Amino acid sequence: MESVAQTASFSQAGDQGGVLAFLYLYNAVQITSVLQPGDRVLDLACGPANQLVQVARLNPDVRFVGLDASPAMLQCAQSTLAQAGVSNVELVQGDMIRLINLENASMDCVICTMSLHHLPDQNALCALMCEVRRVLKPQGRFYLMDFGRLKRLSTQRFFADDLRQSAQFTEDYFNSLRAAFSVDELTAAVAPLGSNVQRHVTVLAPFIVVFRSTSQRPMDLPTLQRAKEAFAKLSPSQKNNFRSVANWLRGSGFALPCDLA
């Protein structure tokens, strides 16, 4: 996503009133369950930082590093963070399959949401997971979410058109669905992360796949209050979408760690 139009479209979709705001909050709540105060967390392919802002707001005692290869995205991310008043995030430019500026065992947690499908092939995906394992501490935690490959082109088109967004966003979304790895490919690539892995796939169709570490913590009351305040700011349609994705993944045993309603 190097073009101005693509960057702007993706950024707007993640704004407070954007079509993806519900998904960013859902991820932020789930990611919080694998974080601890004082953690240093790497967000791979952070893009315009809409997702990162949601997580950072819920976890002010955690330090985040947002990494992206695109200067345009990082410039947009800097603006997003400034407008949100978030100060516990550092942005760095870099290739997520070659984390050359990050030391071994330097991260308590690694997160990556809806970005794995941008990788060119299975070799790149496997290389990324080996890098994730390298930069994680021995008991490090992780949260990885991405699309799963849908078999039918018509189904991919249905999901892309269903959001009823701009032509630019719809086409980018459709291309993302087409580029997705299969559940088996994702599972094989995650193997270097060890046995500390939970896998969850949306019921009926592998639309969304989540891999996360098994170590989790209950949400404390201040964090829960922040999450509820963020949920209250969603529009009625966004709240419905939040509940829908929560229900899709709850069917695979991936329940929310708290009730936000």
Question: CA–CA separation, 131 vs 122, rounded Å?
Answer: 14
Mean pLDDT value across the chain = 88
Q: How confident is the model at residue 227 (pLDDT cuts 50, 70, 90)?
A: very high
Q: Is residue 257, in this structure, part of any structural domain at all?
A: no
| Domain membership flag for residue 149 | yes
In this structure, are residues 89 and 60 in contact, taking their beta carbons and an 8 Å threshold?
no
- pLDDT single digits (tens) 105-136: 999 999 999 999 999 999 999 999 999 999 99
Q: Hey, how many other C-beta atoms are within 10 angstroms of the C-beta on 96?
A: 24
Q: Which residues form the domain of 114?
A: 4-250
pLDDT exceeds 50 at position 4:
no
Residue with tokens 């299969």: 182
DSSP 8-class letter at 90: E
Question: What would the mean pLDDT of 157-178 be, rounded to a whole number?
Answer: 65
pLDDT at 252 over 70: yes
Task: With respect to residue 220, please indicate whether it lies within any of the assigned structural domains.
Answer: yes
Over the stretch 134-145, which tens digit does the pLDDT of each residue have? 999 999 999 999
Decide if 86 is inside a domain: yes
Q: What is the pLDDT of residue 175?
A: 73
Q: Please report whether residue 185 resides in a domain.
A: yes
Q: What is the CATH number of the domain that holds 65?
A: 3.40.50.150
pTM for the model stands at 0.88
Quote the CA–CA distance of 234 and 95 in Å, as a whole number: 33
pLDDT digits over 53-80, tens only? 999 999 999 999 999 999 999 999 999 9
Per-residue pLDDT at 217: 86
- What is the count of structural domains for the chain? 1
Q: Residue 165 pLDDT more than 70?
A: no
Query: pLDDT by residue (tens digit) across 11-50?
Result: 444 455 678 899 999 999 999 999 999 999 999 999 999 9
Whether 227 is in a domain gets the answer yes
260: in domain: no
Torsion angle (degrees, nearest 10) of CA 203, 116, 103, 69: -150
Is position 255 within any domain? no
HSE-CB for 154 with a 13 A CA cutoff: 0
Distances (CA, A) of 2 to 6, 76, 177: 7, 12, 19
Residue 47 backbone class (left: φ over 0; alpha: ψ -120 to 50; beta: rest): left
Indicate the DSSP class of residue 96: T
pLDDT at 8: 43
